């Protein structure tokens, strides 16, 4: 989704720093880009382009003087108004002395716009953001200092925002403010940075200051900064912290796409999520992130998992795991639904948020909803230092590294791996599954490698099914959330209509859709319920439906029944989801490639969904 980068410093490298930062954020999905920079003559230069950051760079090359000691830039993912140059950020006031980039949505923009129009301000875009530079001008013209007027203007905004602001009035300082949208300052010796994701600035500095809601920061060219909490009207003293983890944007290497690269990283992802946390010598699981809340965890009698999309499906796998292994009732809710529900919530309930980015607006809102309930808030998060990671009382990082393809692959695997560890941890070692699962987790990376080695076979299957207009995914028990995730992966990158059902539900409606043009991917791996799934496959076959099965190596019978089968190595039912998901991801990838789609940046989607 939208991305923000800002620079102020002694060196005249603002334009380059911002463009480089915008490039690092490209993977998040966007439709236009723009930059505003202060020239040495203290005038503000604005350039915007539809499409790639590369287009913007091309425009900058045509300009004589792009040397700048202050600059802000933006990649936009359209919400209010089409992706046009006029709607692209930065937005500016009439005399172009103030430029603003904004992530989020200003909910009261119509009210503010009417008010500003009545005061004589004119608008040139369809965006909600454009009210901000005008509002800043209005209030700064009536205030003693720029910053005090800025504070008044920002206090009037409702909704969600991360803002970067540059002005000719204070050429040595740029500004940042946030409410419900991530923003971080990067601090260096003679420069300071603003970014919506640290990945945009870590090549310049690893010393960062995360802003909290209702904070306005002034960052100066000598690398100093002042932060004010404008809700409480007080100064905030916050030291920079050092990013220990590598946020570097990762290169494509020899892979054709990030999605392919990230699927090939899955064996290492399982290792990174589990290593050091499993002690095979003593048969124990150690989750440092949960140690500080060990006492509270003892009194938990229910867990509500909140998440969106793929993370939600990982949560569904977690539900089966935690209930079966630890015996604690779990409910998984879509964060977007949870935040508006009025449900009873006892203190014995823990809320567990799952998020790759740690910045998903709905998941953040779900955590905020229970802020005053006095309940334990846990996180399973990939992005270190992200909003969700910082909001939760405690949690376990996924350690999957940056995931750049829009469709989540290795992060799902890391989330399921971590949820497996959490289930084992919560069981206190009292489950008969404890040791077998611990043991199996060590063998999973090699099994994932063997699936990757057979990617060509999956590609062949993808070619056979690439022209399907519809697809059904079915599974039972642990196979059911895998079916849901498989259908999501196929539809999001190949645009083929795909639906998932619990196999036992077929007779209750979906069977009516089946004919020779409506293929089914059936998860028919080893499980106590396999025979029942086989019966469901028979029912589909009886209606002339084509069936592609994911089965366990050694099951020769299934080959005779279905049109096609792909075999995964034998594994426990509880650890199979990781292997099944890998096959589904590869299948979706090859179908999308065969149909000529951009797998890393599917249409209409963004990587980090920071608006409701
Ligand atoms: C699908 C996908 C999305 C995300 C969802 C939640 O492949 O990536 O469905 O899973 O937007 O994002 P996070 O996990 O960042 O909260």
Q: What are the tens digits of pLDDT across the range 129-150? A: 999 999 999 999 999 999 999 9
If you take atom 5 of ligand 1, which residue's CA is the nearest one?
A: 309
Q: How confident is the model at residue 431 (pLDDT cuts 50, 70, 90)?
A: very high
Contacting residues for 126 by C-beta, under 8 A, at least 6 apart: 80, 81, 82, 86, 87
Top-confidence residue, 304 or 603: 304
pLDDT value of position 245: 55
Identify whether 607 is a catalytic site residue: yes
pLDDT value of position 82: 86
Mutate to test the pocket of ligand 1, among 311, 402, 410 (most ligand atoms within 8 A of CB): 311
From the CB of residue 424, how many other CB atoms can be counted at a distance below 10 Å? 27
Q: What are the tens digits of pLDDT across the range 54-76? A: 999 999 999 988 999 999 999 99
Q: What is the mean pLDDT of residues 124-130?
A: 95
Q: What is the mean pLDDT of residues 323-338?
A: 97
Q: What is the mean pLDDT of residues 122-127?
A: 95
Q: What are the tens digits of pLDDT across the range 272-322? A: 999 889 876 777 898 989 999 999 999 999 999 999 999 999 999 999 999
Q: Is 549 helix (H, G, I), strand (E, B) or coil?
A: strand
CA of residue 578 to ligand 1 center, whole Å: 17
Distance CA 490, CA 357 (A): 21
Catalytic residue, from 48, 221, 447, 607: name it: 607
What is the DSSP secondary-structure string of 444-486?
A: HHHHHHHHHHTHHHHHHHHHHHTT-SEEEEEE-TTHHHHHHHH
Q: What are the tens digits of pLDDT across the range 461-495? A: 999 999 999 999 999 999 999 999 999 999 999 99
566 and 548 Cβ atoms separated by less than 8 Å? yes
Ligand 1 atom with the smallest distance to the CA of 388 is: 16
Distance CA 491, CA 591 (A): 10
Per residue, the 3-state secondary structure of 163-226, as one string, reads: EEEEECCCCCEEEEEEECCCCEEEECCCEEEEECCHHHCCCCCCEEEECCCCEEEEEECCCCEE
Q: What are the tens digits of pLDDT across the range 203-235? A: 999 999 989 889 999 999 999 999 999 999 999
CA of residue 394 to ligand 1 center, whole Å: 21
pLDDT value of position 247: 43
Q: What is the mean pLDDT of residues 320-337?
A: 98
User: Cα Rg for the chain, rounded, in angstroms?
Assistant: 26
265 and 255 Cβ atoms separated by less than 8 Å? no
- Is 609 a pocket residue for ligand 1 (Cβ < 6 Å)? yes
36 and 70 Cβ atoms separated by less than 8 Å? no
Q: What is the mean pLDDT of residues 544-552?
A: 97
417 and 264 Cβ atoms separated by less than 8 Å? no
Burial category of 361 from C-beta neighbours within 10 Å (exposed 0-12, middle 13-18, buried 19 and up): buried
Identify whether 2 is a catalytic site residue: yes
If you take atom 3 of ligand 1, which residue's CA is the nearest one?
A: 309
pLDDT value of position 248: 41
Distance CA 608, CA 301 (A): 32
- Is 66 a pocket residue for ligand 1 (Cβ < 6 Å)? no
- Is 336 a pocket residue for ligand 1 (Cβ < 6 Å)? no
pLDDT value of position 249: 47
For 295, the enclosing helix (H) or strand (E) is helix 294-298
If you take atom 7 of ligand 1, which residue's CA is the nearest one?
A: 407
Q: For residue 173, is pLDDT > 90?
A: yes
Name the pTM for this structure: 0.78
pLDDT value of position 250: 63
Q: What are the tens digits of pLDDT across the range 354-375? A: 999 999 999 999 999 999 999 9
């Amino acid at each position: 989704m939208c991305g923000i980068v800002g620079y102020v410093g002694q060196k005249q490298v603002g334009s380059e720093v911002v463009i480089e930062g915008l490039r690092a954020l490209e993977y998040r999905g966007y439709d236009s880009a723009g930059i505003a920079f202060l020239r040495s003559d203290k005038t503000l230069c604005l350039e915007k382009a539809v499409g790639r950051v590369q287009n913007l760079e091309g425009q900058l090359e045509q300009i004589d003087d792009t040397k700048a000691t202050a600059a802000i830039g933006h990649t936009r993912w359209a919400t209010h108004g089409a992706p046009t140059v006029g709607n692209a950020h930065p937005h500016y006031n009439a005399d172009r002395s103030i430029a603003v980039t904004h992530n989020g949505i200003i909910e009261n923009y119509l009210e503010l716009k009417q008010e500003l129009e009545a005061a004589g301000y004119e608008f040139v875009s369809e965006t909600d953001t454009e009210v901000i530079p005008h509002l800043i001008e209005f209030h700064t013209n009536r205030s003693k200092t720029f910053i005090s007027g800025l504070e008044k203007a920002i206090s009037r905004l409702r909704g969600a925002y991360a803002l970067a602001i540059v002005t000719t009035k204070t050429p040595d300082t740029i500004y940042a403010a946030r409410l419900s949208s991530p923003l971080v300052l990067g601090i260096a010796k003679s420069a300071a940075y603003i970014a919506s994701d640290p990945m945009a600035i870590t090549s310049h500095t690893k010393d960062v200051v995360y802003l909290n809601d209702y904070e306005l920061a002034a960052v100066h060219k000598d690398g100093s900064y002042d932060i004010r909490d404008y809700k409480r009207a007080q100064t905030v003293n916050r030291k920079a912290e050092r990013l220990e983890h590598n946020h570097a944007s990762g290169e494509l290497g020899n892979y054709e796409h990030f999605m392919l690269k990230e699927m090939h990283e899955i064996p290492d992802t399982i290792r990174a999520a589990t290593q050091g946390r499993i002690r095979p010598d003593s048969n124990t699981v150690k989750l440092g992130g949960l140690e500080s809340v060990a006492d509270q965890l003892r009194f938990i009698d229910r867990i509500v998992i909140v998440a969106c999309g793929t993370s939600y499906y990982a949560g569904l796998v977690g539900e089966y795991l935690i209930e079966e292994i630890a015996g604690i009732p779990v409910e998984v809710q879509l964060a977007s639904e949870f935040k508006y529900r009025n449900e009873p919530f006892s203190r014995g309930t823990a809320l567990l948020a799952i998020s790759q980015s740690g910045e998903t607006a709905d998941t953040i809102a779900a955590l905020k909803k229970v802020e005053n309930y006095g309940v334990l808030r846990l996180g399973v998060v990939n992005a270190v230092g992200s909003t969700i990671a910082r909001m939760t009382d405690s949690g376990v990082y996924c350690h999957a590294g940056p995931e750049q393809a829009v469709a989540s692959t290795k992060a799902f695997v890391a989330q399921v791996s971590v949820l497996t560890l959490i289930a084992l941890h919560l069981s206190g070692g009292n489950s008969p599954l404890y040791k077998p699962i611990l043991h199996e987790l060590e063998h999973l990376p090699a099994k994932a490698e063997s699936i990757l080695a057979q990617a060509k076979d999956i590609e062949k299957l993808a070619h056979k099914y690439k022209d399907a207009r519809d697809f059904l995914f079915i599974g039972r028990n642990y196979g059911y959330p895998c079916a849901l995730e498989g259908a999501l992966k196929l539809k999001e990158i190949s645009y083929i209509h795909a639906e998932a059902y619990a196999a036992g539900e077929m007779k209750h409606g979906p069977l009516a859709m089946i004919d020779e043009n409506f293929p089914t991917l059936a998860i028919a791996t080893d499980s106590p319920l396999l025979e029942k799934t086989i019966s469901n496959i028979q029912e589909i076959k009886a209606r002339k439906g084509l069936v592609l099965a994911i089965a366990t190596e050694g099951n020769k019978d299934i080959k005779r029944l279905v049109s096609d089968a792909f075999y995964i190595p034998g594994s426990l039912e509880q650890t199979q989801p990781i292997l099944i998901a890998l096959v589904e991801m590869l299948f979706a990838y090859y179908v999308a490639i065969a149909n000529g789609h951009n797998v890393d940046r599917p249409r209409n989607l963004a990587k980090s969904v920071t608006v409701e």
